Amino acid sequence: MPSLADFDLPALQAHLAQRRHNPVHAKRLLRAFYDGCGEVDIDSLSVGGALREHVRSELLAPRSTVAAIRRAGDGTTKLLVSLDDHSAVESVLMPGFRPDRAAACVSSQVGCAMGCDFCASTRGGLERNLDAGEIVEQFLHLKRAARKLGRRITSLVFMGMGEPMHNLDQVIPTVRRIADAPTGALGWRQVTVSTVGVVPGIDRLTAEDLNVNLAVSLHAPDDATRSRIVPSNRRYPVADVMAATRRFAAATGRVPTIEYCMLAGVNDSDGHAGLLAGLVAGDRFHVNLIPYNSVGAGVSGTAYERPSNERVVRFLELLRGRGVVAHVRATRGDDVGAACGQLRETAWPLSLPATAMIGSGAGGQGRDE
Ligand code: SAH
């Protein structure tokens, strides 16, 4: 059965018309649905009884539920979202530095096919693509979690499980629904799509002209290093990924982010910093250094380690010394496995309560386990 998350405005208008209801109510319904974080007090809406009954019986049941919640010491909240085929994905809420704001991170696939050796999301391979309604529902679950914490979501990143560029047919309608009114109304510039560097996907996103941000998970400036840790580099090597990123920047005027997961002894040398600086120095790119979060040995058997703070700072300074705009991403939520690269459904202990804390109104800060 569909939920309201499955409809954009024209689709809901068509659906209502087909069921002989007045399509003029579609806008109000969707606005109430998104304002209510996926819940609608249908009795409070001034719509006719027949439409009310139709919405209540056929459109209000969510297709996914929050099966468990973990909150890290820093307030980062990870949701295990269970889907109607009994698979599950993870979604993360990251409190902003401003007390009233938060960022949302959603998954685009169940599992991931990309095989990056340092990332847990890919360990079980790809199960399936999510559809737009399922991704929208993750956003709504996170919006509800944020509201319980007195925060509102001001940005959305596709940096959960999966490779968004391999599911663009669903990711693009998701972005439209979340960014645009009368649905999510988050705004286009508040959305970032992250990719391992699937060149045709970057080009398609460029052509769609959505005014969203692009993040590219580069992780190494040279093909030899990158192919070791990011298997898709053999298909889309560094030069091709960078060229597609430049095409995106030129067409959209937006500043792409280059993500660089720092792995001790693998991609964190002064030489790598020099090559990376050479790669991006002429571009208006923003380099985001992500110190590796521990996820155990990779498929290759390699046990990666996070570089020392001194190494990270030195790498950062080498980039900045060459005029590169670069930052180190603060690690969030790693004590509950909610940090970059740690998302995978199987990491949840079975004993976790299935009662959604969110629904029960417990929204306090601090650890809940
Ligand atoms: N497939 C997309 C979306 C996932 S984003 C992509 O690759 O961009 C997840 C981000 O976290 C990526 O930049 C990824 O490379 C990074 N990451 C993965 N594993 C990590 C780990 N163990 N520690 C730190 N960052 C990691």
What's the confidence (pLDDT) of residue 349? Answer: 53
DSSP result, 164-175: GGGGHHHHHHHH
pLDDT tens digits, 99-119: 999 999 999 999 999 999 999
Q: What is the pLDDT of residues 31-83, one digit of tens each?
A: 999 999 999 999 998 888 999 999 999 999 999 999 999 998 888 999 999 99
In angstroms, the CA 306 to CA 312 distance is 9
Is 118:229 a contact under the CB 8 Å cutoff?
yes
User: Could you tell me if 155 and 220 are in contact, meaning their C-beta atoms sit under 8 angstroms apart?
Assistant: no
| Residue ID of nearest Cα to ligand 1 atom 17 | 341
Residue 259 CB contacts under 8 Å (≥ 6 apart), including other chains: 194, 215, 216, 217, 218, 219, 288, 290
Instruction: Please state, in angstroms and rounded to a whole number, the distance separating the CA atoms of residues 125 and 95.
Output: 30
Q: How far is the CA of 263 from the centre of ligand 1 (A)?
A: 12
Residue 12, both tokens: 């809901």
In the annotation, is 105 catalytic?
no
Backbone angles phi, psi at 109, to 5 degrees: -145, 160
Predicted pLDDT of residue 339: 78
What single string gives the DSSP state of each residue in 82-109?
A: EPTTS-EEEEEEEE-SSTTEEEEE--SE
**340 in catalytic set:** yes
Quick one: pLDDT at residue 367?
31
Q: Which residues of the chain have pLDDT under 50?
A: 350-369
Residue from 37, 90, 134, 163 carrying the catalytic annotation: 90
Q: Which atom of ligand 1 is nearest to the CA of 108?
A: 3
Beta bridge partners of 70: 78
| pTM, two decimal places | 0.93
Strands 325-328 and 286-291: parallel
Residue 345 confidence (pLDDT): 55
pLDDT value of residue 357 = 38
Ligand 1 first shell, C-beta below 6 A: 114, 116, 118-119, 159, 163, 194-196, 217, 259, 261, 290, 292-293, 295, 340-341
DSSP for 238-283 reads: HHHHHHHHHHHHHHH----EEEEEE-TTTT-SHHHHHHHHHHHTTS
